[in-house]
Structure 1
Amino acid sequence: MNKLVLLAVFALGYVLGARAGRKRYEQIRAKAQQLWNDDHVQSAVHGAGEIVGSAADKVGEKAGDVLGKVRSKPKTA
């Protein structure tokens, strides 16, 4: 993306955000916090954490297997 376009988009976002003011920011923040604390969202977050943890365990096991194979190969000069 052109740097000038990126700067223009950032400036526009800043101006619009400044116009909304602190009150609107607090409204958005409160709504986001309410959404984050929702039981359905927390259930999805917990489920995703379990999936990621399981995948990380599998990757760790595979990495250990590969490392063991590499270490067991004879060194050649």
Structure 2
Amino acid sequence: MPKMSFMVGLAAGYVLGARAGKQRYAQIKEVSGKVWNSKPVQKQVAVAKENARTKAAPVVADFVADAARSTGEKLRASRTIPSQVSDGRDRTTGGDPWVVSGSTRGEDPWASATRHTGS
């Protein structure tokens, strides 16, 4: 595969850098089209697509999920209620982490902290 990408890069560089006129460009375009549409090249393209679908996609999905989780944690940390301590227990409610001052028992602290109060 590295050989193929080198050849494609070489051909592209030549096409972009060539000053031989339209006839040479048309010739290069025709040859590159034949190479691109050849069975060995298309077989490698299919392999690369399959690898991207089966191997890269789950890695990317995990990366995006981790980034979303991290962002959510940062957002929650920026909205921490002053009465809460670092271990997540609220001292004003007997240490129950799901009860925040001014919220309904059992309510998610994030929902309570982000509720619009109409100030």
Which structure: greater helix fraction?
1
**2:37 aligned with 1:23:** no
Q: Pick the aligned partner of 2:75 from 53, 71, 75.
A: 71
Q: Pick the aligned partner of 1:37 from 42, 45, 56.
A: 42
**2:71 aligned with 1:54:** no
Aligned residue for 1:45, secondary structure, equals: helix
Letter in 1 for 2:31: Q
Distance (whole Å) between structure 1 residues aligned to residue 73 and residue 54 of structure 2: 29
Aligned-residue Cα RMSD (Å) equals: 3.2
Letter in 2 for 1:31: V
Residues 72 and 29 of structure 1: CA distance in aligned 2, closer, same or farther (over 3 Å): same
Q: Which runs of 5+ in 1 are unaligned?
A: 1-8
- Counting matched residue pairs gives 66
Normalising by structure 2, report the TM-score: 0.41
Distance (whole Å) between structure 1 residues aligned to residue 37 and residue 61 of structure 2: 31
Structure 1 residue 37: Cα displacement: 1.9
Larger radius of gyration: 2
> Structure 1 vs Structure 2: percent identity of aligned residues?
14
Aligned residue for 2:45, secondary structure, equals: helix
The equivalent residue for 2:104 is none
Please list every run of at least 4 consecutive aligned residues from structure 1 whose deviation after the TM superposition is greater than 3 angstroms.
16-19
